[in-house]
Amino acid sequence: MKKTLLTVLLASLFTVSASAQAGNQTEKTIEKSTALSADSTTADLPIEEAELTFAPDVPKPITRKTPARVVVKLEALEKIMEIMDGVQFKYWTFNGATPAPFIRVREGDTLEVRLSNPVNSKLAHSLDFHAAAAPEGTSLISNTQPGHTTTFAFKALNPGLYLYHCGAFPGPATHIGKGMFGLLLVEPKEGLAPADKEFYIVQNEFYTRGVFGEKGLQVVSMEKAGYELPDYVVFNGHVNSLTGANALKAKTGEKIRFFVGNAGPNKISSFHLMGKTFDTVYVEGGDLKNHHVQTTLIPAGGATMLEFQINVPGQYTFLDHSINRTEKGAKGMLMVEGKENPEIFSGKIKDEVYDKRNPEADVDVNFHMK
């Protein structure tokens, strides 16, 4: 009887153990199956290489109606360029330009990012995508040593306009301050309304051990950066990058869209267009829309989309309305061609002599332009 009871107990334990193992194996199989299913779904997406453009150009709008796996190829490159005529600076870049390429994808796309770092680079570089739902914005997983290529992927979950930048040692402030930043547009599934002209603009600051305009190769000053005292505040990486022969061009009646980012690393931008309010501002690059805006704030690390139409031809300056920064480079020009429109703007009607004298003007000794 005892032997029989012992046999029954052992048999029961074996059955329970076998059932538990079977259950665990079933759970593992389900987990594996789920993972395979997820991988299969991603793998089934059509693969396309991202169209990358350099400022002020923007990639073509997305026309497909379904998600894709979009391959984005970026390379960390160090190169000497001019901040302004005669002022050289050792830029750190993605794909050889500051700002880095404009990336345009669709909501629901999976971005497969391949970051390469040449073998003769001095430091590791990485990518912090503000659009990514990932630890540290992918900056940890993407840390890429010289002589290596890192590949990673993330899903573009939310539409909007987002900054991306390097986040590697010795810290984002240094890498951003040297020029490693760009914009990523995630179009909503239904797409953006058509525009006649689209332009890519990013504001940033440079901190050097010299003074504004000092010739020769300038070295970055982290002390000035810490005190937030920039020597240069510029659009698209250089003084006069959007003025003179580099001015943007449009025609009257066209719908114009600016994609504007502020890489900082420190200052808020008070972005303003002289001569026309912004018809629509996508506040901080999100869904919230504001209308008929004279000046819009763009925080460091932020971006915005601006839409407007100009009906009077001529020169229109855009700038950071923290106005002294225009003397450090924060201005550009939009040249608009078309027929005059006297119904909206008359132009100069008269220029007459006004000979009344102000008796107090001659004693204003404090006015520096007396």
**Across the strands, what pairs with 115?**
74, 150
User: How big, in percent rounded to 5, are the helix, strand and coil portions of the chain?
Assistant: 20, 40, 40
- Spatial distance between the Cα atoms of 236 and 225, rounded to a whole number of angstroms: 19
**Across the strands, what pairs with 336?**
250, 314
Task: Render each residue's pLDDT in the chain as its tens digit; 370 residues.
Answer: 344 433 433 344 333 343 434 444 433 333 333 333 334 456 689 999 999 999 999 999 999 999 999 999 999 999 999 999 999 999 999 999 999 999 999 999 999 999 999 999 999 999 999 999 999 999 999 999 999 999 999 999 999 999 999 999 888 999 999 999 999 999 999 999 999 999 999 999 999 999 999 999 999 999 999 999 999 999 999 999 999 999 999 999 999 999 999 999 999 999 999 999 999 999 999 999 999 999 999 999 999 999 999 999 999 999 999 999 999 999 999 999 999 999 999 999 999 999 999 888 777 666 565 5
- Spatial distance between the Cα atoms of 4 and 2, rounded to a whole number of angstroms: 5
Q: Is 260 helix (H, G, I), strand (E, B) or coil?
A: strand
By DSSP bridging, strand 278-282 and strand 302-309 are antiparallel
**What are the boundaries of each domain within the chain?**
47-187, 197-337
Same topology between domain 47-187 and domain 197-337: yes
Number of residues assigned to the chain:
370
pLDDT of residue 9: 34
- CA distances 216 to 219, 238, 245, Å, are 10, 15, 24
Dihedrals φ, ψ of 280, to 5°? -140, 130
pLDDT of residue 360: 82
- CA distances 191 to 131, 185, 186, 279, 309, Å, are 17, 11, 9, 19, 20
Work out the widest C-alpha separation in the chain, in whole angstroms.
130
Residue 329: how many CA atoms within 13 Å on its side-chain side?
23
- Spatial distance between the Cα atoms of 98 and 45, rounded to a whole number of angstroms: 32
Considering only CA atoms, give the Rg of the chain: 28
pLDDT of residue 41: 59
Q: Is 322 helix (H, G, I), strand (E, B) or coil?
A: coil
Contact 152, 113 (CB under 8 A): yes
- Spatial distance between the Cα atoms of 333 and 231, rounded to a whole number of angstroms: 21
Q: Supply the pTM of this predicted model.
A: 0.87
Q: Does domain 47-187 have CATH number 3.60.10.10?
A: no
pLDDT of residue 22: 40
pLDDT of residue 11: 42
Q: Is 69 exposed, middle or buried (0-12, 13-18, 19+ CB in 10 A)?
A: middle
CATH number of 197-337: 2.60.40.420
Kindly provide the b/e burial profile for residues 223-242, where b requires at least 16 CB atoms within 10 angstroms of the residue's own CB. Answer: ebbeeeebbbbbbbbbbbbb
